[in-house]
């Protein structure tokens, strides 16, 4: 019997990535596949909270086991900012502006440690579980690289000489915070269903 789960996203790249990882025993559906065409709200003060809010909403409205993710960049010297506000840190969704604001706030600071965090929440009958992925690194003083998106050009992962914007997507997907969280989710699904 094939079990169906909704991944609360319409990002087809994310959907395809998870489909490839779970194999044929689990069917992954997008929001569009289940008839959900609205923008899911993210009103919580934490990454964990936003992930939970989206998964709970889809499960309660569409009655299908669901998982949702949320991610952000947390900079130690900025007390965890931009965090849950990563996508709109500068007041807009323009990542050049967001990057510029992070670099401005870090000017003159020696502690440039940061990490990317993804939290995936699974909500199903009698199950509510979160899976976290963290990629540690540091923030450079200027952008490097053309690949990736978001804060990738200023993020140097621990143990690497290249930013996330300088490595291939294949390599990024092996080490990323999202990949780590997805791996934990898939191990749970495969061992429990």
Cβ(73)–Cβ(84) below 8 Å? no
Q: Which of these is catalytic: 33, 69, 70, 152?
A: 70
Q: Please indicate whether residue 152 is annotated as part of the active site.
A: no
- What is the 3-state composition of the chain as percent helix, strand, coil, each rounded to the nearest 5? 40, 25, 35
Cβ(155)–Cβ(114) below 8 Å? yes
Structure tokens, 134: 């963290």
Angstrom distance (rounded) from CA 14 to CA 113 = 27
DSSP 13-73: HHHHHHHHHH-TTEEEE-TGGGT--SPPP---SSHHHHHHHHHHHHHHHH-S-EEEEEEEE
Active-site residues: which are they? Answer: 70
């Amino acid at each position: 019997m094939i079990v169906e789960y909704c991944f609360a996203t319409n990002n087809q790249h994310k959907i395809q990535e998870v489909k490839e990882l779970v194999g044929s025993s689990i069917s992954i559906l997008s929001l569009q596949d289940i008839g959900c065409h609205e923008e899911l709200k993210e009103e919580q003060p934490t990454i964990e909270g936003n992930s939970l809010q989206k998964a709970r909403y889809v499960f309660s409205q569409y009655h299908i086991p669901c998982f949702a993710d949320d991610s952000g960049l947390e900079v130690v010297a900025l007390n965890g900012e931009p965090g849950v506000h990563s996508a709109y840190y500068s007041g807009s969704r323009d990542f050049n502006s967001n990057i510029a604001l992070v670099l401005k706030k870090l000017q003159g600071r020696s502690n440039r440690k940061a990490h990317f965090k993804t939290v995936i929440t699974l909500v199903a009958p009698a199950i509510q579980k979160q899976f976290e992925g963290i990629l540690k690194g540091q923030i450079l003083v200027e952008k490097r690289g053309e690949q990736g998106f978001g804060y990738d050009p200023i993020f140097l992962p621990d143990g690497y000489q290249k930013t996330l914007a300088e490595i291939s997507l294949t390599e990024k997907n092996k080490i990323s915070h999202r990949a780590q969280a997805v791996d934990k989710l898939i191990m749970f699904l495969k061992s429990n269903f």
